[in-house]
Structure 1
Amino acid sequence: MSRKKAFALRLDPAVHAAIERLAAAELRSANAQIEMLLREALNQRGITVPISKLPARGRPRKEP
């Protein structure tokens, strides 16, 4: 099961406000926006990070 790593992030209030505005304009949460910006920055530096497989949702399939 793939889980996201939670940690505290201290941001300048102006940076946080800018991220929230950008996230709202792109219909994302601030958390998703930060992750997207980090992935873009890593990609610009030549570091490709694969997107983790999401856990299956819903009921498990019945096995025969």
Structure 2
Amino acid sequence: MAEKKAYPLRISAAVLDAMQAWSEDELRSLNAQIEYVLRDALRRSGRLKSKKVDPVDDPDE
């Protein structure tokens, strides 16, 4: 399993509310949803090349 690091995140209330609703729709925790969205953006931009990053409760993968 990949090492996890804690990182404080400042985020607007509107974005946080939208992410919370999205995570509930997909039956993920808010933290898992944020990590999923970040990982997907990194993969699409070609910045995440390694498959060594473990999926986070992602039923679609």
Query: TM-score, normalised on structure 1?
Result: 0.71
Q: Using the TM superposition, give the Cα deviation of residue 27 of structure 1 relative to its aligned residue in structure 2, in angstroms.
A: 0.3
Q: For residues 51 and 2 of structure 1, do their structure 2 counterparts lie closer, same or farther at Cα, with a shift above 3 Å needed?
A: closer
For the pair shown, the structure with the greater C-alpha radius of gyration is 1
Deviations along 1:15-55, one digit per CA (max 9) or x if unpaired, are 00000000000000000000000001101111224315xxx
- Gap runs ≥5 in structure 2: 55-61
**Number of equivalent positions:** 52
RMSD over aligned Cα atoms: 1.6
> Could you tell me which residue of structure 2 aligns to residue 47 of structure 1?
47
Query: TM-score, normalised on structure 2?
Result: 0.75
TM superposition outliers: structure 1 runs of 4+ over 6 Å: none
- Gap runs ≥5 in structure 1: 53-64
